[in-house]
Amino acid sequence: MRGSRPLALALLVLAVVFAIMAIFYFTQKTNFLASGRPALHWKHAIVFTVLTLLAVVAANFARPKSISA
Amino acid sequence: MLSAGLILFLAALQGVTELFPVSSLGHAVVVPRLIGLNFNETSPAFVPVLALLHLGTAAALLFLYRRDWARIITGFFRAAARGRIDDPDQRLAIMLVVGTVPTGIIGFLLQDPLKSLFGDPRAASIFLIVNGGILFAAEMFRRRDEKRRRLDGAPVLAHEEDDPAYQPIEGLSLRTALIVGFFQAGALLPGISRSGITMAAGLVAGLRHEEAARFAFLLATPIILAAGLLEVPNLGADAPTFGVGIAAAALAGIVAYASARFLLRYLRLGRLDPFAYYCAALGAAGLVFIH
């Protein structure tokens, strides 16, 4: 695979967004994208943490590799 | 709160039906009503109890494929660190990730509207009939493909494992794994079987029957495990006693393990049609007898 620097950057930006969402859900009582009264939605936090890690892995796959790598 | 007897009944039912392509959730919603066990499927305890049983099923699958999972997990970390796929284990690991993410995201976003369907046995009955149709269609597609190949002069082989036209999981492309993953999201509906829909998609993609089941089981494991781990803390005040909970999860796991071994052996020569007819019959019975 040749890789794509713009795609890798886009995935990294996505990872940052997911990480911010994860921190938000870990620390704030909210009902944003969740049902019920404002609360700490740790399930949302865990899901966004997993998505952050997957986006970083996907960015690593998407980045251009040197020929020797 | 659900009684201990009902929880153990649901555990046995879950163990048998989770890995057979017949929808465990559809059974958990339809069968108790059909046999006159009246309980509220919209009770806050119902989904977390099912999730607890899922932990038993997930443990059975992890045990069944323990060597595969050791290779898959190692392969994932190697591929993730290097940013490329170098061997079949790494490829399988990335395929499972790619196939799991769509269901995970869709299930997470739609969990509340989907839970409302659990209290509707007639909807589950309709989805069971649809599930039967999916299994039947997949087998019909496979039969047509086999017939076309015979007409093209391919040798008639008694055992599908010997046929090079049908492949093991490692022969799938990542795109196909992604498509199968989207199909798996259909199993969030009560009555649509996770293993059934992924086996059907695997057959259409050209997998052997036994490999389609293996792929379905491997693909189901992370989702079943995650659903269990995320949902069990919601048991709260309605939780069964510790002993009942452990016994139910263990029963679900043991029955699921036996079911998976049976199904893998059956699919070496058998097809999905009997499960298709069974789902259609159960769904029809639900529509006729549940009001």
Task: Assess whether pLDDT exceeds 90 at residue B131.
Answer: yes
**ipTM, 2 dp:** 0.81
Within B110-120, residue ranges assigned H as helices are 111-117
The SS3 call for residue A15 is helix
Q: What angle do CA B29, B64, B193 make, to 5 degrees?
A: 25
pLDDT given at position B155: 64
Q: What is the pTM of this model?
A: 0.86
Q: Contact A54/B108, CB-based, under 8 Å?
A: no
- Residue-wise pLDDT tens digits, A9-56: 999 999 999 999 999 999 988 877 776 777 788 888 998 999 999 999
The pLDDT of residue A1: 53
Radius of gyration over alpha carbons of chain B, in Å?
19
Q: Which has more pLDDT, B231 or B257?
A: B257
Rg (CA), chain A: 15
- The answer to whether the Cβ–Cβ distance between A63 and B83 falls below 8 Å is yes
Does A5 touch chain B if contact means CB atoms closer than 8 Å?
no
Partners of residue B84 in chain A, C-beta under 8 Å: 1, 61, 65, 69
CA B13 → CA B8, B29, B44, B145, B236, distances in Å?
A: 9, 11, 20, 35, 23
Beta-carbon contacts of residue B230 (< 8 Å; ≥ 6 apart) = A43, A46, B51
User: Chain B interface, mutation test: which of A2, A47, A52, A68, most B Cβ atoms within 10 Å?
Assistant: A47
How far is the C-alpha of B256 from the C-alpha of B278, rounded, in Å? Answer: 19
Q: Which of A50, A60, A65, A66 to mutate to test the interface with B (most CBs of B within 10 A)?
A: A60
A57 has pLDDT over 80: yes
Q: What is the pLDDT of residue B134?
A: 96
Decide if pLDDT at B245 tops 50: yes
Predicted pLDDT at A69: 47
3-state secondary structure of B77: helix
Task: Look at residues A25, A23, A26, A18 and name the one whose alpha carbon lies nearest to residue A56.
Answer: A18
Q: Are B76 and A54 in contact (CB under 8 A)?
A: no
B57-66, B93-102, B232-241: least confident range: B232-241
Question: Taking Cα atoms as reference points, which of B222, B207, B214 lies closest to residue B103?
Answer: B222
Given pLDDT bands bounded at 50, 70 and 90, which one contains residue B98? very high
d(CA A43, CA A24): 12
Looking at residues B52-65, what average pLDDT do you find?
A: 94
Q: How confident is the model at residue B255 (pLDDT cuts 50, 70, 90)?
A: very high
3-state SS assignment for residue B122: helix
Q: Give dist(CA B283, CA B27) in Å, integer.
A: 10
Residue B105: which H helix or E strand, with range? Answer: helix B88-109
How far does B81 lie from chain A, in Å, by closest CA?
Answer: 8
Cα separation, B281 vs B276, in Å, equals 9
Shortest alpha-carbon distance between residue B105 and chain A (Å): 9
What residue in B sits closest to A51 (Cα-Cα)?
B101
Interval B190-229: pLDDT, tens: 899 999 999 999 888 888 888 899 999 999 999 889 888 8
CA distance B80 to chain A (A): 5
- Mean pLDDT, chain B, as a whole number? 87
Q: Is B62 buried (19+), middle (13-18) or exposed (0-12) by CB count in 10 A? A: middle
Mean pLDDT of B255-283: 93
Six token digits for residue B190: 């009560």
Rounded to whole angstroms, the Cα distance separating B49 from B220 reads 19
Q: What band does B11 get if pLDDT is binned at 50, 70 and 90?
A: very high
Residues of A in contact with B82 (CB under 8 A): 60, 69
Tell me the mean pLDDT in the region B258-284: 93
Q: Is the pLDDT of residue B66 over 70?
A: yes
pLDDT in the model for residue A68 = 55
In total, chain A counts a number of residues equal to 69
pLDDT of residue B69: 96
Judge whether B70 and B27 are in contact, CB under 8 Å.
no
Pairs of CB atoms within 8 A across A/B: 25
